[in-house]
Structure 1
Amino acid sequence: MSRKITLLACMLTGTTLFAQKDTVTLDEVVVTANKLEQKQSTTGKVITVITKEQIEKSGGKTISQLLNEQAGITINGAFNNTGSVQTVYTRGASPGRTLILMDGIPLNDPSTITTDFDLNFFSVNDVERIEVCKGPQSTLYGSDAIAGVINIITVKKDTKKPFNIKATLSQGSLGTSRNNVQVFGKAGKLTYTTRFARLFTNGFSSAYDSTGVRNYDNDKYDGTVSSGQLSYQASHHLAFKAFLMYSQYKAGIDAGVFADDRDYNIHNKSLITGTGFQYKKGRVAITGNYQYSELTRNYRNDSAHKTSTWFEDNTYFGKSQFIELYASTRLGNGFTLLTGADYRYSSYNQNYFSVSAFGPFKSQFRDTSLSQTALYASVLFNSPYKKLNIELGGRYNDHSRYGNNSTYTFNPSYSFNDHLRVFGSISTGFKAPSLYQLSLNSKLNAEKSVNYEAGFSIQQQKFTTRLVYFNRRINNGIDYNYITFNYFNYVKQTVNGLEWELAASLGKAGFSANYTLLLSEEVTQNRLTTKDTVTYDYLLRRPKHHINLSANIDICKGLNIAVTGKYVSSRFDIGGYRRADISLPSYFILGASADYVLNERVRFFADAQNITGKKFFDARGFNAIPFLFNAGVTFNW
């Protein structure tokens, strides 16, 4: 009883206090930068880490919403109805130009036009941490890493007991329930983890009713994620692993911009499995990985609610395989050599059937495939006094369709002292054309980019900040020609930008913020006439100004309260076929959360999004979230 009174008193006395203690740490140990465990201060790459603690305090958010709070990243769809397409824009790059990794291994969907991997397949409860590495990373990670990579890490570390259980139960607005259970442990040389998560919500209408009188229905979402991991330490030097993740979700979707459809649903499935090993002895470490994945996307529109299409069944099936082997060797005098090779194979097919006012229609896209083989190497130098760090690397990529291409990276950094560090890079990236694009134009080449980057970071005990300038140029971007109705290497894009991150700690309180500025120029086909070339000084759905704010405070022992704010400036969206682009208004939304640790076994949390009920749009013709509330509890045994 006394504990309840104390908790209530803390909440009443603390409702007007705001600050942020979970600051962005600029010297985390990371693996994404160079495939080696290293401090952020020993690499010149721009890396942001979303820690396990930050993830656990965001129980009501999705992976996309967490990423959407980071400098330089916009996730279009993060604030739309659950199950919506999640389009990742990093530093203003187009869709499919940010590579998603799971535990360091690339993920993609060969059945989509831009090969984006669906972030809806991840449960936030299954994630241990996220590392975002911005700027071209194609030298180490290959195609799609033009703007950066997002490494979603699911592997648990420091498991000691043979049997552990962790369960999370939560309920929220719109009939939303989020449930997760994990069983994990370590017995001798064997470490295991099993997880199951389910997210259900009645949702809201995906399409926006601009008249306000058409009574659009809510679009539900029901998804589950099951996963398992095994690792076996065969000897002091050799370890093996195996993993599997099966995800599926059903979601209601609508007929399109401003258009409802009461029986249009998607049912998407993903299977990812694989194995690997790591051998470490002396100065040498060798890592091998194999991953196999299958993805099925089914769009089904039955005839109960007739729109322009009475019935539609559209099924895509994609398959991918990935094999890699790489080794790091410490050469002495601060030099490390990383060498590696990887092989990628992907294929997909499609079956389509529909009935409309024009009658039945059937089509089939038979199996088509491609493969890529690559060799890469990097030389890393860390000076004896930990001041100068240099990475110099290159990659040769051989593609079964268009031939070969190469990339390079030069990335130095210098620490003047324990607090001030400067860094920069000159690097290239590439995106291979997708199977669908190649099926229409077999002569497509890889899209290539050149990136320049410079910045500095200051890190003190109670204050950290980082400022980065970047410039990216693309001269042969892949786009769709609405005159020839085909894909071609056409787009020229230049993006200049700034990213500024700040975090300050004041004992029990603190504050953090980030700001992104995008200045862009894109030469592409005129979207209004489709008959000439136009230079646009903006990028669709990507704001020029983007600000995230966060503040929290420890009210009393175990209780933490936080407030967040997000500002997105005006930006343009497509107005329709051969119509002028439409400007979407800017918006500012507020969120709040509370986290109470009762003891080492029980943790309560609550999360509220868009607490003022602001009406805003991230995509023209589609609704964004209303006020949402979620609360729950996590148990550990």
Structure 2
Amino acid sequence: MKYVTLGLLLAGVSAPAFAADSADNEILVTASRIPLAAREVGSAVTIVTQEDIKESQAPFAKDLLQMIAGVQLTTDRPGDNTNVSIRGSDNDQVLFLIDGIELGDPSSTSTQYQSDHLVTRDIARIEVLRGNQSSLYGSDAIGGVVNIITQRATEEGISVNAEGEYGAHDTLNGGASILGKKGAVDFRLTATGYQHKGPSLADPATGSATERDEYWRYGFSGRLGVAATDNLELQLIGFWQDAHSDLDNTNSDSANTVRKREYAYAGQARYGSDDGHFHADLTASRYVARRLYFGNSYKPEGDLYKGTKDVVALNANYDSGSFVSVAAGVNKEWEKSDQVTNYSGNFDASVNTSAVYGELALRPLKNLTLTGAARVDDHSRFGSFDTYRATAAYLITDAMSAADIKLRASYGTGAKAPGLYQLFDPQYGNPNLEVETSKGGDVGFDLGFGQAFTAQFSYFFARVRNEIVFDGSIPPYGGYGQFGRTKKSGVEIGMTVRPTNWLSIAQSYTYLKAREDGDEDGVYLDMGRPKNSGSTAVTVTPYDGVSLTGRARYRSRNESSYGGATAGFAVFDLLGSYRLNDTVELYARVLNLFDKQYQMSFGKNTLGASAYGGVRLSF
């Protein structure tokens, strides 16, 4: 209870770790298929900028996501299996995009993206869109969308930036990027690497664990853009990475390991009319994940899971510049899974989905924007299903106080087909599974007084039918079944306060009530989600080039965490940086400053007090 009280008190005086919204006229890429300014968006969106990434010293994208209102993670350890939940959703109900590439592994439990190894080194911006977005982005977006936009050269010439750090648990982390632009051509190439040997993933506090668990990853990413004409732009985008992780049981060490290689690439074309009112985007992409599991119960050459997701998508939009804007698109996806294992058997299977969607934005009154979207998906196994969404945004401005308040609301439906593993795995699959369906929405407001104070408040709710779960009671060893219903509702609060030019306070807070249908009498039981979570950050810049941040992360007790209850906790971090000149910056951080013993998932060990230091170079 003390952590709940702390969160509520801080929420009353401070603000979101990242911008709840952006400048009024800035276009939000993810919130709509129509280019809408921030003041016209009726959904809850959080923006993480490149400066936010730098100040947070976050090596991995998940380190950033856990600081956002409405988002909860199952781990904060580098390389550990990471599930991202938005408003109580499952990980497979959150769609990840990188530069327009849809990520998702069809060989996983359900087609989903595991963000375990996603580093921040090449990221320029993250947009987190919360709530049901299936009508815009398909079946993987019941919970929300995480859209990642990578760095791109925008100025003539060549620039190089690099960073490297060393710290606790023999951590080595670094990367370098070269960016260039000459006339109509621009490019970026980034190389990254990370390794550490931390304590056991199994927590000795709730089990038996003595070994050190190793994790490493390295990868490359890049993009090449060409302005072919004044109206046509072409791009090639891609990334490749290789990672190794030790694996442990819930409460004991294990000799098992996993090696994961994944890559994605895409070709894109964007056309814009001379008057700027019409745009069309075409993307063809492929994402491949290949996992090999090693251990006593696996094949000598490793148990293989390989998933491939191919997507071709076309979106066109027309903005009249006044009353009406429209967008329409088509989408074709092919999913394939190849599995060769001792663990549960072999299979290969594939499905494909065709979709068509449309969106309409109306501005019937000054400062009022209404949007409606509808989508029809045709699945090769489950047939057709439709989804829709509606939003409203109304901006109130007060010139005397320089205050803006945006009232907003959204409501939508979603649908998600079972994954190939859930359907066809020889041991655990269930070919009789049905499509999950959902309904949900939110109401709230965004408040701003220039840069001095911003705030975002949302009440949200969602209902899911036929939610797919692993049911241990299915003979002989368990299998996949479906709940009748699940319910999620709660409150998100985010604020930033900048009372002076040398002080800023940031706050995020989430209250979540997530329940599942427990028996035939309609009694609902708590799901494995903490009810209260949040973060607070206070940053001081006493001198030009010097920055100091104190940060707290906290959660309430989670009674229904898988395997057992996890206690509430508050963890404190300390970060600092010093810019020597335009070329060199030194930085350091201490995570879990007071060496708090805590668990984010039952039986999973977190890191104790850990110090890191590094240098950034820019040329």
Q: TM-score, normalised by structure 1?
A: 0.88
- Would you say the 8 A contact 1:20–1:553 is kept in 2? no
Q: Which residue does the alignment assign to 1:495?
A: 488
SS in 2 for 1:203: strand
Cα distance change, pair 222–322 in 1 and its aligned pair in 2 (3 A) = same
Cα distance in 2 between the residues matched to 1:156 and 1:395: 32
**2:541 matched to 1:543?**
no
- Would you say the 8 A contact 1:521–1:535 is kept in 2? no
- Would you say the 8 A contact 2:106–2:420 is kept in 1? yes
Cα distance in 1 between the residues matched to 2:392 and 2:194: 44
Cα distance in 2 between the residues matched to 1:152 and 1:563: 26
- Would you say the 8 A contact 1:320–1:344 is kept in 2? yes
Cα distance in 2 between the residues matched to 1:623 and 1:536: 30
Q: Which residue does the alignment assign to 1:27?
A: 22
Larger deviation, residues 29-38 vs 167-176: 29-38
Cα distance in 2 between the residues matched to 1:487 and 1:448: 17
Larger deviation, residues 97-106 vs 25-34: 25-34
Q: Which residue does the alignment assign to 1:249?
A: 243
Q: Which residue does the alignment assign to 1:370?
A: 351
Q: Which residue does the alignment assign to 1:636?
A: 618
- Would you say the 8 A contact 1:573–1:583 is kept in 2? yes
How many residue pairs end up in the alignment?
A: 588
Q: Which residue does the alignment assign to 2:604?
A: 622
Cα distance in 2 between the residues matched to 1:102 and 1:23: 19
Q: What does 1:97-136 correspond to in 2, within 5 Å?
A: 97-136=93-132
Cα distance in 2 between the residues matched to 1:26 and 1:604: 30
Question: Which of 577, 588, 594 does residue 576 from structure 2 map onto?
Answer: 594
SS in 1 for 2:526: coil
Q: Deviation at 1:70? A: 0.5
Cα distance change, pair 21–148 in 1 and its aligned pair in 2 (3 A) = closer
**2:398 matched to 1:404?**
no
**2:340 matched to 1:339?**
no
Q: TM-score, normalised by structure 2?
A: 0.91
SS in 2 for 1:216: coil
Cα distance in 2 between the residues matched to 1:89 and 1:23: 18
Q: What does 1:523-538 correspond to in 2, within 5 Å?
A: 523-524=517-518, 535-538=523-526
Q: Which residue does the alignment assign to 1:46?
A: 44
- Would you say the 8 A contact 1:60–1:631 is kept in 2? no
Cα distance change, pair 533–611 in 1 and its aligned pair in 2 (3 A) = farther
Q: What does 1:106-255 correspond to in 2, within 5 Å?
A: 106-156=102-152, 159-210=154-205, 216-254=210-248
Cα distance change, pair 414–105 in 1 and its aligned pair in 2 (3 A) = same
Q: Which residue does the alignment assign to 1:276?
A: 268
Q: Which residue does the alignment assign to 1:529?
A: none
Q: Deviation at 1:490? A: 2.8
Cα distance in 2 between the residues matched to 1:215 and 1:401: 45
- Would you say the 8 A contact 2:15–2:454 is kept in 1? no
Cα distance change, pair 299–533 in 1 and its aligned pair in 2 (3 A) = farther
Q: Deviation at 1:36? A: 4.6
Q: Which residue does the alignment assign to 2:54?
A: 56
Cα distance change, pair 199–340 in 1 and its aligned pair in 2 (3 A) = same
Q: Deviation at 1:94? A: 2.2
Cα distance in 2 between the residues matched to 1:51 and 1:509: 19
- Would you say the 8 A contact 1:122–1:225 is kept in 2? no
**2:504 matched to 1:510?**
yes
Cα distance in 2 between the residues matched to 1:86 and 1:36: 32
Q: Deviation at 1:377? A: 0.3
Q: Which residue does the alignment assign to 1:357?
A: none
Q: Deviation at 1:195? A: 0.3
Question: Which of 423, 427, 431 does residue 416 from structure 2 map onto?
Answer: 431
Cα distance in 2 between the residues matched to 1:117 and 1:149: 12
- Would you say the 8 A contact 1:402–1:444 is kept in 2? no
Cα distance in 2 between the residues matched to 1:332 and 1:167: 42
Q: Which residue does the alignment assign to 1:13?
A: none
- Would you say the 8 A contact 2:34–2:327 is kept in 1? no
Gaps of 5+ in 1: 1-18, 303-307, 355-362, 526-531, 577-581
Q: Deviation at 1:452? A: 2.4
Cα distance in 1 between the residues matched to 2:368 and 2:247: 52
For residues 142-166 of structure 1, the C-alpha deviation after alignment (integer angstroms, 9 at most, x for no partner) is: 0111111011111425x21331111
Q: Deviation at 1:480? A: 3.3
Cα distance in 1 between the residues matched to 2:213 and 2:595: 19
Q: Which residue does the alignment assign to 1:9?
A: none
Q: Which residue does the alignment assign to 2:288?
A: 294
Cα distance change, pair 535–310 in 1 and its aligned pair in 2 (3 A) = farther
For residues 401-435 of structure 1, the C-alpha deviation after alignment (integer angstroms, 9 at most, x for no partner) is: 11111111110111122511111111112222101
For residues 137-195 of structure 1, the C-alpha deviation after alignment (integer angstroms, 9 at most, x for no partner) is: 111110111111011111425x2133111111111111101110101110121110000
Residue identity (%) = 25
For residues 545-575 of structure 1, the C-alpha deviation after alignment (integer angstroms, 9 at most, x for no partner) is: 1121111111111101011111100003456
Cα distance in 1 between the residues matched to 2:65 and 2:134: 21
For residues 26-64 of structure 1, the C-alpha deviation after alignment (integer angstroms, 9 at most, x for no partner) is: 224320111454432111110001110010122254211
Cα distance in 2 between the residues matched to 1:572 and 1:115: 28
Amino acid at match of 1:493: T
Cα distance in 2 between the residues matched to 1:215 and 1:567: 25
Cα distance in 2 between the residues matched to 1:165 and 1:276: 25
Question: Which of 604, 613, 618 does residue 595 from structure 2 map onto?
Answer: 613
Q: Which residue does the alignment assign to 1:584?
A: 566
Cα distance in 1 between the residues matched to 2:16 and 2:132: 31
Q: Deviation at 1:271? A: 1.2
SS in 1 for 2:342: strand
SS in 2 for 1:369: strand
Amino acid at match of 1:370: V
Q: Deviation at 1:537? A: 3.7
Question: Which of 362, 365, 372 does residue 381 from structure 1 map onto?
Answer: 362
Cα distance in 2 between the residues matched to 1:74 and 1:632: 28
Q: Deviation at 1:625? A: 1.6
Amino acid at match of 1:381: L
Q: Which residue does the alignment assign to 1:552?
A: 539
Cα distance in 1 between the residues matched to 2:81 and 2:50: 25
Cα distance in 2 between the residues matched to 1:291 and 1:445: 28
Question: Which of 298, 305, 308 does residue 319 from structure 1 map onto?
Answer: 308
- Would you say the 8 A contact 1:275–1:289 is kept in 2? yes
- Would you say the 8 A contact 2:189–2:222 is kept in 1? yes
Question: Which of 248, 256, 261 does residue 264 from structure 1 map onto?
Answer: 256
Cα distance in 1 between the residues matched to 2:306 and 2:114: 14
- Would you say the 8 A contact 1:470–1:497 is kept in 2? yes
For residues 3-42 of structure 1, the C-alpha deviation after alignment (integer angstroms, 9 at most, x for no partner) is: xxxxxxxxxxxxxxxx999762522432011145443211
- Would you say the 8 A contact 2:17–2:495 is kept in 1? no
Q: Deviation at 1:200? A: 0.8
Q: Deviation at 1:384? A: 6.8
- Would you say the 8 A contact 1:57–1:605 is kept in 2? no
Amino acid at match of 1:375: V
**2:75 matched to 1:85?**
no
SS in 1 for 2:116: helix
Larger deviation, residues 21-30 vs 471-480: 21-30
- Would you say the 8 A contact 2:407–2:445 is kept in 1? yes
Question: Which of 70, 90, 106 does residue 94 from structure 1 map onto?
Answer: 90
Amino acid at match of 1:112: S
Cα distance change, pair 116–186 in 1 and its aligned pair in 2 (3 A) = same
Cα distance in 2 between the residues matched to 1:334 and 1:512: 37
